[in-house]
């Protein structure tokens, strides 16, 4: 694996949590309180996976990865594993993926648009993790 961490593994989740807490301040997160579940379809192992972010007053309170149904979240973004992998490698912007129908969003669209720049910050940090997809 050449020192890379398997994407969505527990090791990847722990590294993502460490980096998000170290690199993104509550001010950069606009002191938001929100939850987001990314739901991955067509994963390489044939299972459905999810990645859950929970923020309280701009601080990461929960970051979880699992299979099956995700925890209840204010926003749910679903799409193919390959699309999320391209976003995590900084090859595709999440807003572009949403606008072109590669990802589907459920939740308050007005709040989602306000938080778009915040999600871009999260994705930029996650793109820094050397991962095996």
pLDDT at 112 over 70: yes
Q: Which domain holds residue 69?
A: 5-132
Nearest alpha carbon to residue 123 among 100, 103, 101:
103
Burial environment of residue 29 by CB neighbours within 10 A (0 to 12, 13 to 18, 19 or more):
buried
Structurally, the chain folds into a number of domains equal to 1
pLDDT at 2 over 70: no
CATH of the domain at 85: 3.30.1050.10
d(CA 8, CA 83): 14
Q: Using pLDDT thresholds of 50, 70 and 90, give the confidence band for residue 61.
A: very high
**pTM of this structure:** 0.91
- Residue 22: CB atoms within 10 A of its CB come to 9
């Amino acid at each position: 694996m050449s020192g890379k961490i398997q994407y969505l593994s527990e090791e990847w989740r722990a590294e993502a949590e460490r980096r998000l807490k170290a690199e993104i301040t509550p001010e950069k997160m606009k002191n938001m309180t929100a939850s987001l579940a990314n739901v991955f379809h067509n994963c390489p192992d044939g299972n459905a996976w999810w990645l859950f972010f929970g923020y309280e007053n701009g601080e990461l309170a929960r970051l979880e990865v699992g299979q099956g149904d995700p925890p209840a979240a204010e926003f749910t973004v679903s799409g193919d594993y390959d699309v999320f992998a391209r976003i995590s490698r900084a090859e595709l912007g999440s807003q572009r993926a949403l606008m072109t129908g590669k990802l589907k969003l459920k939740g308050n669209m007005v709040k989602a648009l306000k938080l778009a720049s915040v999600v871009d910050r999260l994705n930029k940090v996650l793109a820094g993790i050397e991962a095996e997809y």
